[in-house]
Structure 1
């Protein structure tokens, strides 16, 4: 299926030989396990790799040939993590550099140059997801202006690509553009919707407790579009006080795991990371935790996942949207939730394929 793939940010390699080796180790066996001639990829390239490929047309053509030879097709790219995504501690560093920093613009431009060469021929348009400007603080009006200027420069560059290319801004809890509503309010009056829209990460959407169908409708009514969907599932905890031991298993040191609690009056309490939530949130209402859990396997009770949000989003978005499975947390899952990576990715793609068929 040409619009479905998995995001390679689950793999840590940050040089071309390492990337190809990991594709041989994981992506090719996943393709073979699924019994398909071509497997879709949401490609992640660290900034240095993207810059090297962007500067070398021959290297881009060779990379495309290497992908073709393996039966792998790039359907989208993820340019959210700049680099070091598998460092021992990532946390807030994943939001750097922000869109106020020239390096973020250059990285994204480099990724579009690469995608213009390697995008699968059967994909209607190229898409690259990016961070929602940056972490929420510090942030000033000057930062707002600098980010808008950078996006305007990017838009001018996209108009010159040989293929249709679009940037997908990805709302995330705790960032400047925390929710889809925040993202609409910031983008809609400022950007060209032909080239800039939203990446709808279903884990992030679930954590916000927003209604999936109404959210998709609000995007369309704003004049923006869902450029791509990242199919990812959050942890759902109906009774946090009864699940403290299980939740502590997910409080790992590498990634930030934002938590939201839905109160009886409809308000949402917030914590920036799971250890903080365990200490500060009241635990009287259900929690949603930004921890991408495998799509095909419900966590052990009393925990659950938010797969229902994925299903609702996929029903609501246009039928031709790119869908990228993005469970990058396999290596930090509690041991009893882990699975062979090839088996796990294949099972997730099979699950997602049924949802969009």
Structure 2
């Protein structure tokens, strides 16, 4: 879905396909047919943006086989789907039985992460619509926080320098600019805006921030982060529109029971308490006593952006709305890629039962987002 900002900027809205489990080319194309095309039809739009997640296996195949890239491009065109952004954070196995901290490997101290990200950039340059010159790839914020050392920081810095060089060469060769957005996340080396400003390279042509509004909320940050990033020369190359889970009185028995329903074995659900410096690396650990429970908790559990969870819990919609207002509600658009990233549908306490319900849920999220962007002064661009 495309929108036009009052300043003329074309803003793309997509949903992230990391909600789907396929990690081979046939599976990726099938999921586009079964889910993404159905979402587009449900919305009644002429084209739908998808933020592709491609596991390492399918990336390797596509890089080695230009015919397969053309096959994927034809499938997207036939289904009236378009791609301007990739989710390059998960490397592989994102829908394994247990993911947890595996999602942070390989990290930016390794050549594997550099190679994967440059491969994604090359593929995206080939898949961009003909009338679009700029794409984005989101990636992890360097590494999980432990182990970390001056030596590992130096290793990561060297790879980011090579990343910038590779992206510059790609732009010269293809005429397409692909920008990488490092995504601050609780528990990582870069988990908030202050750390992003201190640890990530600013004022480069191809590197910036992927601002995930669930992560922003879990860190108890506000839309002021947008101004801080801008002042440091860290552009928001992409927004992942998402909501965290919130418990206002986590010591209450009813709220603890409600939170316990969101504990599950696949993904990591970092939990933070307002005003408490140390956090818990998973919701089960917070409920087990690692947080005092005196003040509100926010949980890294991406709940659907369009609907509040059942009481007594709630979602952090206001953080999402505030961030998008700061980025797109003013006289100048400060980002052009917005991706709804609710990858947790399958592990929600009331998970969709079948493709039809999941399609309906994703379509409802995108409808809510479309209304929000219009309220901020953007117009649909058909």
Name the TM-score, length of structure 2 as normaliser.
0.89
Figure out how many residues of one structure are paired with residues of the other and give that number. 351
Cα 1:337–1:262 shift into 2, 3 Å: farther
Q: 2:188 aligns with which of 165, 175, 178?
A: 175
* Structure 1 equivalent of residue 340 of structure 2: 325
5 Å-filtered alignment, 1:311-322, equals: 311-318=321-328, 319=333, 320-322=335-337
Which range moved further: 139-148 or 333-342? 333-342
Aligned equivalents of 1:66 and 1:268: distance in 2? 48
* Large movers: runs of 4+ above 4 Å: 336-339
Cα 1:345–1:83 shift into 2, 3 Å: same
Determine whether 1:247 maps to 2:259: yes
Determine whether 1:258 maps to 2:275: no
2:369 is paired with a residue whose SS is helix
Aligned equivalents of 1:337 and 1:14: distance in 2? 21
Q: 1:191 deviation in Å? A: 5.0
Structure 1 unmatched runs, 5+: none
Determine whether 1:350 maps to 2:363: no
Q: 1:336 deviation in Å? A: 6.7
Q: 1:121 deviation in Å? A: 3.2
Determine whether 1:234 maps to 2:244: yes
Deviation string 1:72-119 (CA, Å, 9 cap, x unpaired) is 100200000000000000000000001111111111111011101001
1:285 is paired with a residue whose SS is coil
Indicate conservation of the 8 Å contact 1:234/1:290, yes or no.
yes
Determine whether 1:9 maps to 2:21: no
Determine whether 1:207 maps to 2:245: no
Deviation string 1:26-50 (CA, Å, 9 cap, x unpaired) is 1010000000111101000001211
CA RMSD of superposed structures (Å) = 1.4
Determine whether 1:101 maps to 2:101: no
Aligned equivalents of 1:247 and 1:129: distance in 2? 29
Q: 1:145 aligns with which of 154, 163, 170?
A: 154
* Structure 1 equivalent of residue 58 of structure 2: 49
Structure 2 unmatched runs, 5+: 3-11, 375-382
Indicate conservation of the 8 Å contact 1:174/1:272, yes or no.
yes
Aligned equivalents of 2:317 and 2:311: distance in 1? 15
Determine whether 1:85 maps to 2:94: yes
Q: 1:57 deviation in Å? A: 2.3
Aligned equivalents of 1:277 and 1:337: distance in 2? 27
* Structure 2 equivalent of residue 225 of structure 1: 235
Indicate conservation of the 8 Å contact 1:14/1:46, yes or no.
yes
